Each structure stands twice: as C-alpha cells, then as structure tokens.
Amino acid sequence: MNLDEQELEMARKWLDFTVESFIRNMRKLRIKQTGALMASFKKQVIGAASGRLQLQLSYALYGKFVDMGVGRGMGLGVRRGDDGYDRLRNSRGQLKRRERKAKKWLGKTLAYQTKRLSELMSELHSTILLSQVSDVLPTEDVVVNF
C-alpha cells in the first residue's frame, strides 16, 4: 500500500470517526427533534490532482444555529408591531414559550478532530520517511563528525 492509498484510508476513517463524535454529542445534548440533522451528514474524500488531499464534510445549515442557540421563534420578515409578534415575544423581544440555549455540539469536537487529523498525517509521513531512509542507509556503521 503506497502513501496515497494510506492517506485516503486514514482520511476515510477520520471522517467516519468525526461524524460518529458529532452524533454522540448531539445525543448527549438531546438534539434530535426530528433526526434530520443527524441524517444530514455527508462526507467525501477527494484526491486532488496536485497531490493534495481534500476532505469534504457537510451537514444541514440549521445545525450551526442549534450550536449557537439562535434562529428559533419567528418567521422571516416578522417585525415588532406585526400580527403574531406579541403572541410569541415579550416587550424586550425575548421568546415567551422557551428560552434559546446554545447546545455546543460542533466547535470543540471539530477543533480537536482537525488537530488529531494533522497529528495522524504527520505521524504517517514521518513513519514512511523513516522507513525510506533506513532502506537506503549502508549496512556498515556511519560516523558523522560535527
């Protein structure tokens, strides 16, 4: 198995593990009203022609709003004084029925997993580099004077 194949395999496994981590976080925080957000994850490993490995991870946009704790309560274009505004909100503009709460399922996990991917790729490249260097070294002792 050459380096490109090993990188692709590692990237696929990393994407699978990362999506599992996101879903675990959502279950722990009870973010599963319809299950659509959990089902919206799409992942793809793209081997670019320039030799750079590209990963694509996408999910429903409203997942960011859940993470930030915003976006629930009013339809598009509803303003203060419109019909239905007073029914949903108090005089300060806050929702009456429930308070928005951020459910942080994305940020820390994504930062950690990205760092971990860079560590794994560095380790893979260093292992391959060391094996290539050891293959070309002479069998006798080598003395280097500084």
Can you give 84-115 as a three-state secondary structure string? Answer: CHHHHECCCCCECCCCCCCCCCCHHHHHHHHH
Number of domains in the chain: 1
Q: Identify which of 13-27, 28-42, 45-59, 115-129 has the greatest average pLDDT.
A: 13-27
Q: How far is CA 29 from CA 55, 101, 118, in A?
A: 27, 11, 28
Residue pLDDT, tens place only, 32-80: 777 889 999 999 988 755 677 888 999 998 888 888 887 655 566 667 7
Rounded CA separation 43/56 (Å): 6
Q: 10 Å Cβ neighbour count for 112?
A: 12
Q: Residue 16: which pLDDT band, with cuts at 50, 70 and 90?
A: very high
Provide the CA 131 distance to its chain's centre, in angstroms: 32
Residues 38, 23 contacting (CB under 8 angstroms)? yes
**What is the pLDDT averaged over residues 108-133?**
83
On whether residue 74 sits in a domain, the answer given is yes
Note the pLDDT of residue 43.
Answer: 94
Query: Is 143 part of any domain?
Result: no
User: Mean pLDDT across the stretch 13-21?
Assistant: 93
Q: Does residue 15 carry a pLDDT above 80? A: yes
In a domain, 112, yes or no: yes
Name the residue range of residue 40's domain. Answer: 3-120
Residue 19 lies in a domain: yes
Q: Is 121's pLDDT higher than 90? A: no
pLDDT at position 130 is: 67
Tell how far CA 139 is from the center of its chain: 46
Q: What is the pLDDT of residue 92?
A: 74
User: What is residue 27's predicted lDDT score, i.e. its pLDDT?
Assistant: 92
